[in-house]
Structure 1
C-alpha cells in the first residue's frame, strides 16, 4: 500500500507538513494519495545514515552486492500489477510501455549484478617492485577503483522506472559500493514509493547496512538540500538543461565540490543525403514519423532536427513527413506542465521569422494530448537564429533545408553537444560523408547509420552521453555497465604489505 511517506534508511516516515498529489494526465485530475515532502531533518538523517552505511557497504564483496541487486529485481517483479497500475495512473503511458520499462529496469539490475560478481570491472593494474633497478629501485604499485561515497539520484520525469528509483543510476551506484538517496520525481511519487519499498525489502533480506538506500519526496529545495549536504559525494540526474546546470553549479560551489553526472537536453540531428531521399523518401518519412511521435516525443533521443540539402525531392519528402506524422493519433503527455512546456517552446520556435509549419495535427485533443508538428526552415535562417536550436520536448521536429553540403557542415559544426547524430545515406555516399562524420563525432556521443536515434540499447558498447549540454561530462555513459565508472575513483597502493591490501589486489 502506498503511504505517501519518505523511506529513510528503510523506514517510512513523514515528519513534515508540506503535501502534494500526483496527477492522472489522462483524466487531468489529481490522484487521491497525499504525499509528504521530506523535512530538512529527514534529509540530514538519510545522508548521515548513508555515510555510516558507506563504511560497511564499500567493503562488501561483489557477490554480496550482486545478491542485493538481484533481490531488488525480484522484489520489483513481486510488486506485480500494483506497480504497473500505479505507473499508468501517474504517467498516462500505456500498459505495454510500463511492462517494457519494468523489464528494462530488472535487466539493468541483473546486468550490474553479473558485472560485480568478480573484480574485473575495477581494472586493477599491478607493477611489481624492482629493488635492484639502477639508479633508483622501483616500488611495488597496485591500482584499483574504489567507490566515492553516498550518491544522490534524481528521478526522471519521462522514465518512472528505468531512469528513476531503481534505474540505471541507482543500480550502477549500488553495484560500485555507493549508498543511494533518491529524490523521487513528484510526477510519479507513488511509483517511486513502491519501488523504494522493494529496495528496502531487498536490503533487509540480504543484510545490507541500514542507510544503504533512502528515498525522499520534495521539490526544488529538497534537491538543493541533498546536493549541498557534506556527506553526499556525487549526483546523478536526468532531465532538463536548466535543472541539470543548476545542480552542477550548486555542487561546484560547495566547500568540497562533487561531480554531477547530468544527462540533459538534445535535439539529435539527423543528416539525410540527397540520394537517400531520392531513392526512399516515402519510406524514410514513415519511419521518422514513427520515431518523432514515439512516446509522444518524450525521449531524450527524439529526432528533433533533420538536415538535408534543398531540392524538389527534399520538398516532397518534407510534405510526406508532415502527412505521415500528423496522421498518427495524438497521445497523452506525462503531465499538464509538460504539455504546457511543449506548447510554449514549440510556439517560440515556429513563431520565428522564416519558419514554416508544414504539418500540425488537426484532430480533437483530449486533456494533455499533444499535437505533433513538422516545421521547415532554410539553412541560412537556422544559422542566424539560435532560438531554433533549442529542444522542444514532445512530438516536434524541424527540417532544415540547406543550400549545399558546405552549409550543412557549417550547421553541424555550430550545434551544441548532442546525445546522438544520425546518418541516412546510400552505399555510394560513403566518400562524401567523411567530413560529416568527423564533424558529428565532435558534437555527439553516439552516431547511428541508417536507423533512428530513439531506442537506447542497454549493453557495454552503448554511449549515452555527449558534449555539453547533452551531459555534464562527455567521458561517461548513463546507460550500460560502463556507467559504473561515474561512481568510483582510482587509488594506488605503494609498497603495501599484503595483509593491508584489499583482497582484490592481493596476488
Structure 2
C-alpha cells in the first residue's frame, strides 16, 4: 500500500488544507517523502461532527460486533506486512525486532479487548430488585456502564504502534463503544497513515458508521488544542510529556463542559535496593539495571531513572558495576531530534549540579543518546528539587542514603510514579513491609526483583499512577482496566423489560456476571 500523505475523515482520504510537512529519518538525519499537510479548523470540526453522529449507532452495536471490529483491525494491520515495518523503521530508527514485537503487542491487545467484550462483565451490571412491600417501597433499579462519547486520542512518539493509532487508547475507546478522532504524531505520519487505513478498512468491513474513526495530521499544538476544545469530544487519551499533558488538561478544564483528560506523562520509576539483596547480588542487580536503562535507548516511560540504596561497600559495588557496564555502551539513535536535544539538556543539567558526581557519560552525538549515570547523597536529593525531574532517555541517578529510614523519607518525598521496584531477599521482608504503604500511595505498579521496563498487556496490569505519572491516578492506560476511562454509569429505574438493554434483562441469555441484590451471579 502506498502512503499518500493524507488525513482520513469520514472513511475518506483527504488532503489537509494547511501547511506541508514531512517525516524525518532520525538515523540518516534526513526528511522522508511524501509530504503531509496539516488539517485546518474546518476539517477538525468535520471529523468531530461525524464522530458525534456515529456515537449512538456505534455504541448500539453488540459486544460481539465490536469484538469482531477489533479483531478485524488486527487482521488488517497484519495484512500490511513488510510495508508497515519498513516505514516504521525509517521514521523511528527502531530495529526490526522491536517493531515486529510491538506490532504483535498491538494486535494482541486488540484481541484482549475483544475477549473482554464477548465475556460481558465490562458493563458492571448491578440489579436491585423491587421491594414493593417495604416502606417506603424500593423501585426496580438496574445499572450498567456505557461509553462517554467521542474520544480524542493522541499518538505517542515512543511507541509508533502500541501507543499510537491502533494502540491501547484507541482499542479501549472502541471497546467502550466510543468513536475515536486521533491526532497522529508528526514523527511517524507514514506509519500512522498505514495503520489508520487498516482501521478504516476494518470499519467498512464491519459496516460501521463512517465517523467511527478519523486520522488528523499536522505539527505543533494547535490541532490538539482545537480537538480537545471541540464540544463533540467527551474524553481524551494522551501519552507524552508533562507539559503537553498539562496543556491539554487546561484546555479541557476551560471548556463550557469540562471533560476528563487521561494523560500519561512523567515518571522516574524508583528502584530500591534493600540491604540483604544488595549484599548478596550487587553485581547481578547492576547488570540487570544497566540493561533495563539502555533498552530502547531509554525511551520508555518506565525507565529506571532513580536508584536508592544504603551507602557503603555493597552500594559502591553496585555503582561500579553499573558504571562499567554503561560506559561500554555506544550512543544510539533516538526517536526524534527533539527528544535527543531534550535528553542532552537534561544530562548536562544533572552533570552541572554541585552535589552530583558523574559516574558514566558517553558522548552525546546529534540525534543520539549515550548512557549517563550520576550519583548523589540522600541529603542532597531531599534538599534539591532539580534532582527529581525525569530525563527521558538512558540516564539515571543513584542515591546513596544514610540508612533505611532515609530511603523511606525519600520515598515519601517523591511525586507520583508509574512504577516502584524493590530488589529484596528473604532478610529484607520487614523493611519491604514498612515501605509498601508508602509505595502504594506513590505508584501504580510495585515490582519485586525485576526491572520496570516491559509492560505486560493483561487483565491485572496497571499502567498509571498518581500525578504527574498520570493526570488521573485512578486509571490505567494498559490492560482491560483501561476501558473504564471511557465509560460512565447509567441507572434504569422501573423500565419495562422491552426497553431495557440486553445485559439488564431478566433472562440474561449470555450468562454474563451481574451483581443482583448484592450477590454476583450469572443467573
- The TM-score with structure 1 as length reference comes to 0.98
Supply the distance in 2 between the matched residues of 1:353 and 1:249 (Cα, whole angstroms).
36
Aligned partners of 2:19 and 2:327: how far apart in 1?
A: 42
The equivalent of 1:480 in structure 2 is: 479
Match of 1:253 in 2: 254
Match of 1:149 in 2: 149
Give the equivalent residue in structure 2 for 1:182.
182
Task: Answer yes or no: is the 8 Å Cα contact 2:340–2:366 preserved in 1.
Answer: no
Q: For residues 429 and 365 of structure 2, what CA distance do their matches in structure 1 show?
A: 46
**Cα RMSD (Å) of the superposition?**
1.0
Unpaired runs of 5+ residues, structure 1, are none
Equivalent-residue separation in structure 2 for 1:308 and 1:366 (angstroms): 32
Structure 1 CA distance for aligned equivalents of residues 440 and 8 of structure 2 = 42
| 1:325-381 deviations in Å (ceiling 9; x for gaps) | 22223221001111000001111122112100011125xx66522111010000111
Is the Cα contact below 8 Å between 1:63 and 1:118 reproduced in 2?
no
Hey, what's the Cα distance between the residues in 1 that align with 2:16 and 2:188? Answer: 21
Distance 1:169 1:388 in 2: 31
Secondary structure of the corresponding residue to residue 68 of structure 1: helix
TM-score, structure 2 normalization: 0.95
The residue aligned with 2:57 is 56
> What do the CA deviations read for 1:407-458 (whole angstroms, capped 9, x no partner)?
1111110100000000001111101222211111110000000000000000
Q: 1:306, 1:346 → 2: CA distance? A: 16
Aligned to 1:158: 158
Given the superposition, is the C-alpha separation of residues 310 and 15 from structure 1 closer, same or farther in structure 2, using an over 3 Å criterion?
Answer: closer
1:472-503 Cα distance to aligned partner (Å, 9 max, x none): 11111100011101100011011111111111
Query: What's the counterpart of residue 290 of structure 1?
Result: 291
Runs of 4+ in 1 over 3 A off after TM superposition: none
SS of match in other structure, 2:482: helix
Provide the residue aligned with 2:387 in structure 1: 388
Q: Which residue of 1 aligns with 2:377?
A: 378
Give CA deviations for 1:204-263 in whole Å, capped at 9, x if unaligned. 011001100000012310001100000000000001111011111110110000010011
How many residues matched? 504
Distance 2:127 2:435 in 1: 41
Could you list the per-position Cα deviations for residues 118-171 of structure 1 after superposition, in whole angstroms to 9, with x for gaps in the alignment? Answer: 4221110111101111x2111000000011000000000000000010000000
Q: Distance in 2 between matches of 1:327 and 1:275?
A: 28
CA contact (8 A) 1:22 1:189 kept: yes
- Matched position secondary structure for 1:34: strand
Q: Conserved in 1, the CA contact under 8 Å of 2:329 and 2:370? A: no
* Residue aligning to 2:512: none
5+ long unaligned stretches in structure 2: 507-523
Contact 1:86 1:190 (C-alpha < 8 Å) held by counterparts: yes
2:316 maps to 315
Q: Equivalent residue for 2:125?
A: 124
Contact 2:7 2:16 in 1 (8 A): no
Residue 465 of structure 1: aligned partner: 464
Q: What secondary structure is seen at the aligned counterpart in 2 of 1:211?
A: helix
SS at 1:108's partner residue?
Answer: helix
